[in-house]
Structure 1
């Protein structure tokens, strides 16, 4: 338990907008970190009040529709006092096990960043199977920035969602999982994925495969090369529900695989519609 006697020398950055249902639970588990900063996009609920109650730094952010979005804006403009930065969403909750492993890893490492693992919750239950969620969300300050995509307001998403941090050196991995506890309901899930789908279509159309695409991960390359094909949504469902054993998660596992399959069908249909219009 020695690791818990010292603050972890990491700045945690949490981008938010109207996260009163999630932010308190997230902040309550971050007492072991040296610095926590909440970056807000004009919340109209009680998000700021909750942040103030936790004594955490609060920064207002207003996006002008151009580069940079919220996470890169912080990386470019904020004066970090720690060597490491961890980006969390308001609905992500760390555990003592995660903090213990992270503290040990940072004490003796030459890597520039770490992949993080997550446990998704859907319909109020943890998903133990299906496609695993991983993100490169922890890295040394100055060693990585999120992909620069000059999107000219493809959507109102003012935060990097599918953009990936570009790290030039090999990353490590923290195996202890972070809980992804989004309890805002199916309606919000659908609304959010409609916005994501519109963004994905524009992103797909912007990729020039004749130029350097080494900054894309293998998963991104596979997705964007095949996302417009008729079989891709069915491939995702079969892979997630059967190959990755999502079927063992019961009804929530089926529902999650179903909605993600619907999401990829929506992307394909939007792509087909755009071709007709052009």
Structure 2
């Protein structure tokens, strides 16, 4: 069954709730590598019992982080690599499409789209989520951000892979469903907003123009103070998030508050400087 020549790389820390569902859908892929950061729960034993290779990564606070480190140091048996988080679950339709598309020599990477769940409900509206997470190991790596003095994430969270070649898109979606509770979601996004605030000031200082259109729009709106309002109006009304019921409302509010956190943390960092 494991005949699809792709190495799936899953970065984890204390993911005993999500990892079993992630791993059980990967049986058709040739190689599964779980890269752990010193989990204290049963994450590594679950990975080993389900047939995955387990690597331990200890970050020294500098480049490379977990995903680039894996590309540079792991024994990767295949040219194609697929990066997943433990709360991302592939579907049969996705696997079937990927099996066909990696045979197209015109492409060196693919963007993956997600079917999002929030508070255990499948969301059909609001802003979608996608990332380039499937690419040839000789054609791509995650961008390097100079963050040695302020980042506390050992994995590339917001960094994008830079692909030297043509990028396609996988139409079938991957399920994004975190089995951890709402408190974890809030705590995680509080940490993300601190990273984003530091990143925003770094980009402003360095006048970095190597940004995507979405990134430029986001950071320009942070500068005006309108990003939280614009996001909520866009997600809840323009993108019909209200049709997802109370879960659509809650997610729109939480994400708007996330951007409000970024803005206030930017203001505080400026003040402290």
Normalising by structure 1, what TM-score? Answer: 0.94
Determine the structure 2 residue equivalent to 1:262: 257
Match of 1:50 among 31, 46, 49: 46
Query: Contact between 1:229 and 1:268, CA under 8 Å: does it hold in 2?
Result: no
Paired residues of 1:117 and 1:177 also in contact (CA < 8 A): yes
The partner residue of 1:139 within 125, 135, 144 is 135
Once the two structures are superposed, the pairs formed by residues 37-186 of structure 1 within 5 Å of their partners are 37-186=33-182
Instruction: Describe the SS at the equivalent of 1:207.
Output: helix
Note if 1:32 corresponds to 2:63: no
| Unaligned ranges ≥5, structure 1 | none
CA distance, structure 1, for counterparts of residue 108 and residue 140 of structure 2: 8
1:94 CA displacement? 0.3
Residue in 2 aligned with 1:190? 186
Alignment correspondent of 1:204: 200
State how many pairs are aligned: 273
Check whether the contact 1:119–1:177 (CA below 8 A) recurs between aligned residues: yes
CA RMSD of aligned residues (A): 1.5
**Alignment partners' CA distance in 2, 1:268 and 1:170:** 35
Offset of residue 245 of structure 1: 0.9
Distance 1:96 1:204 in 2: 39
Q: TM-score, normalised by structure 2?
A: 0.96
Runs of 4 or more, structure 1, over 4 Å off, are 208-212
Q: CA offsets, 1:31-84, max 9 Å, x none?
A: 000100000000000001111110210000000111111011111222322110
C-alpha displacement of 1:195: 0.6
Where in structure 2 are there 5+ consecutive unaligned residues? Answer: none
- Matching residue within 224, 232, 241 for 1:237: 232
Q: 1:141 to 1:181 in 2, by over 3 A?
A: same
Contact 2:12 2:37 in 1 (8 A): yes
